[in-house]
Structure 1
């Protein structure tokens, strides 16, 4: 029997990030969150009660629930592939938090498995589906800044151990600034400038151990397993390059530097870890011949409004594609290409040389301009 109406969603993982997803997915008319699962079943039950979700349990209960069509995988990075694989084998479509995995081989097998089973695999971040980033994507594709040439991005601060009660996993293999925050920046670069051809990078870490600052385990030390300060030069298949800084080692807090320079202007974008808020999306035009120092730069403002959506937009896009028979945007192939590029960055740091990125992706589409997450588009039909 062909399913119609709302798409049933189940969560595996009820940690901090689940709150952001649940805020939105319980508000979208085309989605019905039917179960929350977690290794800590008491935490899953508390989350289900808070958000009005009818059922909870462990992860297996989500996979066994016939009303769950999409599994939202919010487990730790090291278990992303394992959990996503189990969900696919249970006949569920999968939306996974970033990264898709922590190594190329298992992530590639996951993408191939989804394809062989005819199931959809989506990979965060879905921030690039927010109104700000979609506005910027359309502007660049329409020639608003001429031919894109270069990009500059930066994310720097002292690290998540200052606020996260269990930050040790963010300094383990598969995390650090490269794998934890890098997916936002590299995914946005791929959406705007196309697939990555090669990278060269340097990396370091300020200390071998850190200590938790907040929570019941405050003061507890943990090892730092990955570089915590990474500088990357990225070259793209279609031409152009980008310079990126990703750091957990600087007292200066500066997130969301993201600029794309073209032959006819520079587009200034918001933090790719947001859905388009924070500051206007604007274009700086070249100075005129009569400009004098100190220069006063004028901007064309493309969008100046706070987004009304957040995490979960990619799940909604996937749900509508499931019912409509089309493709969603934040695909497993894009998630794998971003992982491939980030692993190449790791290899470049170790080798001190350029590393080619073997994978590629087809051109990535944009959401329809009239895409409304709060519209009910999936009506139930009697069959």
Structure 2
């Protein structure tokens, strides 16, 4: 790969907690430079620009107007995703949005229609299934190592955000909650492994209507909860596989696996999708113990390097050069529709059909890391 000439110049809107992971990941590629960062709090944008050696910072409007920015990466809070994506597309930029694509399926469809009309590419997170674990598990299923997959489980416990974030209110408001915060990683991973979802049924609850914030540098002491914080659902994929899910901000810890896939000839144990370079375990009918599958692509970083984002942005840029787009907006829309159905499901309403369809992403082939 030619690392002296940029393949695309990146502008990032949003200077919050996830920005460092994107800065780290895009720097790893070497030829996807972040040339401008923007935030409604310009001081915060300036601080991140200075920290990471980014040459320009300012307001979102200034970023959209910058002719040197080829791709806008939207990592604002979920409730702002639709507006930022709309404005970036209107300025003629390609856009990669953090999860979820928008706060609602209706708004996400508007963004997709706008991108199509403008002839721009709209792609979206999560991209973690493009990492070592997701691709190793995918190769195992495609290679028949566990026979025909017929069921799976997907569990997420509290992210303990109220003990980590100084102002975590948006995690407990529309656009947040465990379903739209953690759920995208799991559902994207499941669609990568098992294909699109056809039906959803489930239920949800809010055990605590107010949450105490314990972060040492907090700016609020309590937040009000206005979205379900424990959600359970059953998904049926178009291929007929059944998936049991439990996503919660209220369960403080548990011993359940993040994702397991059950096949006619064995089981795959798949790590937290955020740990996308962690090992995948397998146990077949004839095995007495679990074993670790050899990775099919090289890990992107040393574990101690910290959170890593950027594979999806790279995927978008490569699609502009004629390669398959593995994280298109339609994929992100399908994930969002599944999650919206999970969050809104009730037993009284019965099964909810998923109307969107997404192609199972093509397997990835990421470049070797150039540094730890």
The alignment's TM-score, normalised by the length of structure 2, stands at: 0.91
Give the corresponding residue for 2:309. Answer: 311
Deviation at 1:301, TM superposition (A): 2.6
Question: Partners in 2 of 1:119 and 1:318 — Cα distance?
Answer: 11
Give runs of ≥4 in structure 1 deviating > 6 Å.
none
1:343 paired with 2:361, answer no
Aligned partner of residue 103 in structure 2, secondary structure:
coil
Cα distance change on mapping 1:30 and 1:256 into 2, 3 Å: farther
Give the corresponding residue for 1:325. Answer: 322
Give the corresponding residue for 2:305. Answer: none
Give the corresponding residue for 1:379. Answer: none
Structure index of larger Rg:
1
Question: Partners in 2 of 1:300 and 1:216 — Cα distance?
Answer: 41
1:334 paired with 2:335, answer no
Match of 1:364 among 336, 361, 365: 361
Question: Partners in 2 of 1:82 and 1:350 — Cα distance?
Answer: 34
Question: Partners in 2 of 1:284 and 1:12 — Cα distance?
Answer: 44
Deviation at 1:273, TM superposition (A): 2.1
1:27 paired with 2:20, answer no
Aligned partner of residue 95 in structure 1, secondary structure:
strand
1:147 paired with 2:148, answer yes
Give the corresponding residue for 2:294. Answer: 302
The alignment's TM-score, normalised by the length of structure 1, stands at: 0.89
Q: Flag structure 1 segments of 5+ consecutive residues without an equivalent.
A: 289-295, 376-383
Cα distance change on mapping 1:327 and 1:351 into 2, 3 Å: farther
Give the corresponding residue for 1:378. Answer: none
What are the equivalent positions in structure 2 for 1:86-105 lying under 5 Å apart?
86-105=87-106
Question: Partners in 1 of 2:73 and 2:193 — Cα distance?
Answer: 26
Give the corresponding residue for 1:281. Answer: 280
Q: Please list the CA deviations of residues 75-125 of structure 1 after superposition, one character each: whole Å capped at 9, or x if unmatched.
A: 111110110011011111111110001212111111122122221111111
Deviation at 1:282, TM superposition (A): 1.9
What are the equivalent positions in structure 2 for 1:211-222 lying under 5 Å apart?
211-217=212-218, 220-222=221-223
How many equivalent residue pairs? Answer: 360
2:300–2:369 Cα contact (<8 Å) kept: no
What are the equivalent positions in structure 2 for 1:67-146 lying under 5 Å apart?
67-146=68-147
1:210–1:224 Cα contact (<8 Å) kept: yes
Q: Flag structure 2 segments of 5+ consecutive residues without an equivalent.
A: 303-307
Deviation at 1:351, TM superposition (A): 4.3
* RMSD, matched Cα: 2.0
Question: Partners in 2 of 1:256 and 1:184 — Cα distance?
Answer: 14
Q: Please list the CA deviations of residues 324-351 of structure 1 after superposition, one character each: whole Å capped at 9, or x if unmatched.
A: 1233211100100011111111231374
Cα distance change on mapping 1:217 and 1:298 into 2, 3 Å: closer
1:355 paired with 2:352, answer yes
